[in-house]
Amino acid sequence: MLEIRNLTKIYEDGTKALDNVSFSVPDGEFLVVIGLSGSGKSTLLRCINRLIDPTDGEIIWNGEDLAKLQGEDLRKARRKIGMVFQHFNLVERSTVLTNLLTGRLGYAKTWPTMLHRFSKADRDKAWATLARMGIEDQAHKLARELSGGQQQRVGISRALMQDPELMLADEPVASLDPVLAHSILQHLENLNKEDELTIICSLHYLDLVQRYSTSVIGLREGHLVYQGTKKEIQKMTDDEFKTIYGEEAVRISDTSLEGSVGEVVEE
């Protein structure tokens, strides 16, 4: 159970990216965060694993306030939270295998990793994960040599290497075409269903939201403006969606024919 209480983030330049946001995510949930570009989705996700320090509020996870953690404790907590990024954020000049093993850094001893030494168990786990994501044959390629869809699978694999209990996915499919988007989200859905991994994922398209989410929250200018269950979101019409979301909201199926998916909501 993840519980966000009164979370506020004000950036150094004064931008109030999150304003008193509270919600909770039961274990095993596939929570989708929707909202316009600039509404604070990335900020919210980055606050949870403390890539960004929140200005105020609590992030209670397994009885611990993540917002207060420092140093070693923070790193220990981060190990259990995987993260997937819109632009994959792979180390492009490293191999796929190395990118996966990076996911084990939090568990490994520091000095062996300085020499790129990982335990046999870690290596086996990497190969198993690659096999699970169907990219075994790419293991020794440089990450930048892969296609977008493959790169995102590496991104998910890296997060899986952490043995996460929570997965944060910040617009994981916004840089991909619709077919790939479904394929990546299906991977996440599998993890959610089979591994009972809690997932918090920001998405843009109503049909993707309806298809994959088990619950939804909506952000607008840093405020929490919508909270809905799967049922509620299923019944939602485009017009309702737009009132929460903004005029730009579209279904991915509307845009796929024009091939301009990535530009619908610009990041």
Partner 1 sequence: MKAKKDRVYKEEPSLPSLVPAWLAALLSAIIPGLGQSLGRAIKRGIIIFGSFASLVGLLIWRFRIAAPRDTGIVDIVLKAFRLQPVFIVIAVFFGLMYIWNIVDAYQVSKAAGKPDKRKPVIVFALILIVFFLIGWQIGKIDLYGFVTQFDDSFPILKQVLWPWEKAISYPTEEVIGTAELGYPCTDSPPPQSEPREEKPYLIADPTCGTPTLEEVGKNPETDEWERMVTPGTVIHVEGFNFDPDQEVEIWWRDSAGRFYIHRDLETDTNLKVMPDEDGYFEVDLVWPFPIGDTIRTNVQGVAEWQLQGKQISRIGTWEISEELELAFVLMIETIFIGMMATFFGVILSVPVSFLAARNLMSANAFTLGIYYFVRFILNVIRSIEPLIWAILAIIIVGLGPFAGILALTVHSIAALGKLYSEAIESIDPGPIEAVQATGANWFQIVMFGVVPQIIPPFVSFTIYRWDINIRMSTIIGIVGGGGIGYILVQWIRNWKYQEAGIAVWFIAITVAVLDYVSAEIRERFV
Ligand X SMILES: Nc1ncnc2c1ncn2[C@@H]1O[C@H](COP(=O)(O)OP(=O)(O)O)[C@@H](O)[C@H]1O
- Using CB under 8 A as the criterion, which residues of the chain lie in contact with partner 1 when the complex forms? 49, 51, 75-79, 81-83, 85, 87-94, 98, 102-107, 110, 113-114, 155, 158-159, 161-162
Q: Is 267 exposed, middle or buried, given 0-12, 13-18 or 19+ CB atoms closer than 10 A?
A: middle
Tokens coding 20: 């008193």
Residue 156 or 216: which CB sits closer to partner 1? 156
Instruction: Round to whole Å and give the CA distance between 62 and 1.
Output: 6
**Is residue 176 within 8 Å of 203, Cβ to Cβ?**
no
| Residue 23 three-state SS | strand
| Residue 174 three-state SS | coil
Residue 160 or 265: which CB sits closer to ligand X? 265
Q: 236-250: string of b/e by CB count within 10 Å (b at 16+)?
A: beeeebeebbbeebb
Instruction: Round to whole Å and give the CA distance between 127 and 97.
Output: 8
Residue nearest to ligand X (CB): 42
Shortest distance in whole angstroms from residue 17 CB to Mg ion: 10
Shortest distance in whole angstroms from residue 82 CB to ligand X: 18
**Is residue 170 within 8 Å of 83, Cβ to Cβ?**
yes
151: number of Cβ within 10 Å? 24
Shortest distance in whole angstroms from residue 43 CB to partner 1: 13
From the list 9-17, 72-80, 134-142, 173-181, the region that binds ligand X by CB under 6 A is 9-17
Residue 31 or 83: which CB sits closer to partner 1? 83
Asked if 15 touches ligand X (CB under 6 A), the answer is: yes
Shortest distance in whole angstroms from residue 153 CB to ligand X: 22
Residue 101 or 244: which CB sits closer to partner 1? 101
Q: Distances in Å between the alpha carbon of 101 and those of 63, 71, 106, 141?
A: 29, 22, 10, 14
Asked if 28 touches ligand X (CB under 6 A), the answer is: no
User: Using CB under 6 A as the criterion, what x/- string covers residues 31-60 for binding ligand X?
Assistant: ----x-xxxxxxx-----------------
List the Cα angle 32/236/43 in 5-degree steps: 25
Residue 15 or 24: which CB sits closer to ligand X? 15
Residue 221 or 240: which CB sits closer to ligand X? 221
Shortest distance in whole angstroms from residue 265 CB to ligand X: 8
Residues that bind ligand X (CB under 6 A): 11, 13, 15, 17, 35, 37-43
